Amino acid sequence: MSSPYFTLKVVEVTHETSDAVTLHFEHPEKQAVSFKPGQFLTLILNLEGKEVRRSYSLSSTPHEAPRLAVTVKRVSGGLVSNYLLDNVKVGDEIKVMEPIGNFCLTCAPDNQRHILLFGAGSGITPLMSILKAVLKEEPNSQVSLLYGNSDEDSVIFKEQLEQLQQENAERFHIEYIYSQPKQACDHRGRMNQSMIIKILERLKLAKIDNALYYMCGPEGMMDEVRHALDVLHVPAERIFRESFVSNKLIEQQQQGQHGDVLSSDDDGEIVTQTVTIIYEGAEYHVEVEPDQTILEAALDQDVDLPYSCQAGLCTACRGKCLSGKVHLDEREGLSDAELEEGYVLNCVGHPLTSDVIIEIG
């Protein structure tokens, strides 16, 4: 099994807005990096004497190989985003983990469908990858984007979006929504249920059978989108959402401060248990204390397992539980089908029995 880690070189830096940049990478040997539109890349950096990892959605598409790109928006007080915006330059090399993620789309030239995208702020990044891929690879498909920002100057990819709209006038439509516009605009305020329904009805997109719906942005915005789609009776299997993890949550995870345990059917008390982990052909026996996750215990014992968000959302640390029982603090990253198959997330997992065996990869 090949290692999930490799190094990429920065070949271009594009300033999208005053607080967002796109980092364009290439493999040093010009190799194409395999990924699906909508997936993310994990950057691994050594900052202030510690290794830190952050996941950023790829804003490029596979047909742009050998280049691939992530777009980073500055977060107030954010260790990694501030470092990337202020320090990274062309020629730098950054260690990464191979692209992963379930928020993705597979294109086929024979598809004839409508892709509806709902984004706000930096939530546009995976949607940008998806929309470019559909426009390039599915000539009979259409794309509509509802994109919320504070004002006109904060729109990431503004020039690219306008160019794509001009080049695909019959297939690509954008509705901009501004909460604090600097000039007159069609939609003022935050994206909400009522606004979404009105826009879709005006565009005659409220009831279409061949549509898929992708949303990414703040949780409140995505809740509004979901409420609107529920009112329009959109089947749940046609709706996909991507949650970005806040810096606060990451810091809580790193400090061992976990949120409320989700209600579950798990029985048993969390006590010290030894977990067997099978990874890259080797077998590890990891002792997990009650206040540790399986991932934290493994890393403490120098078992270099794959991981990224440490919050149960990205699935980088996913493994299959072959025996025993594991409690998960957070389940959003796994589908019902994956849970039924026995998959667990080591970054939010705690062994409940003494016979837990987890296979990764």
For 5-100, give the CATH class: mainly beta
3-state secondary structure of 168: coil
Residue 261 has a pLDDT of: 26
Residue 269 has a pLDDT of: 64
For 324-339, what is each residue's pLDDT tens digit?
999 998 877 888 888 8
Residue 183 has a pLDDT of: 87
- In DSSP terms, 57 is beta-bridged to 40
For residue 3, name the pLDDT band (cuts at 50, 70, 90). Answer: confident
For 156-201, what is each residue's pLDDT tens digit?
999 999 999 999 999 999 999 999 988 888 888 889 999 999 999 9
Q: Indicate the average pLDDT of the chain.
A: 89
Domain topology for 258-360: Ubiquitin-like (UB roll) (3.10.20)
Q: Can you give the pTM of this predicted structure?
A: 0.78
Residue 2 has a pLDDT of: 63
114-242 CATH pick, 3.30.70.1140, 3.40.50.300, 3.40.50.80, 1.10.10.60: 3.40.50.80
Distance CA 116, CA 124 (A): 13
Q: Is the distance from CB of 245 to CB of 75 less than 8 angstroms? A: no
**Integer angstrom CA distances of residue 97 from 90, 91, 156, 304:** 20, 19, 25, 12
Common-topology check for domains 114-242 and 258-360: no
For 114-160, what is each residue's pLDDT tens digit?
999 999 999 999 999 999 999 999 999 999 999 999 999 999 999 99
Residue 334 has a pLDDT of: 86
Q: Is the distance from CB of 349 to CB of 327 less than 8 angstroms? A: yes
Q: pLDDT > 90: what percent of the chain?
A: 70
For residue 40, name the pLDDT band (cuts at 50, 70, 90). Answer: very high
Taking residues 302-320, report their average pLDDT.
88
Domain boundaries, the chain: 5-100, 114-242, 258-360
Peptide bond into 99 cis (omega under 30): no
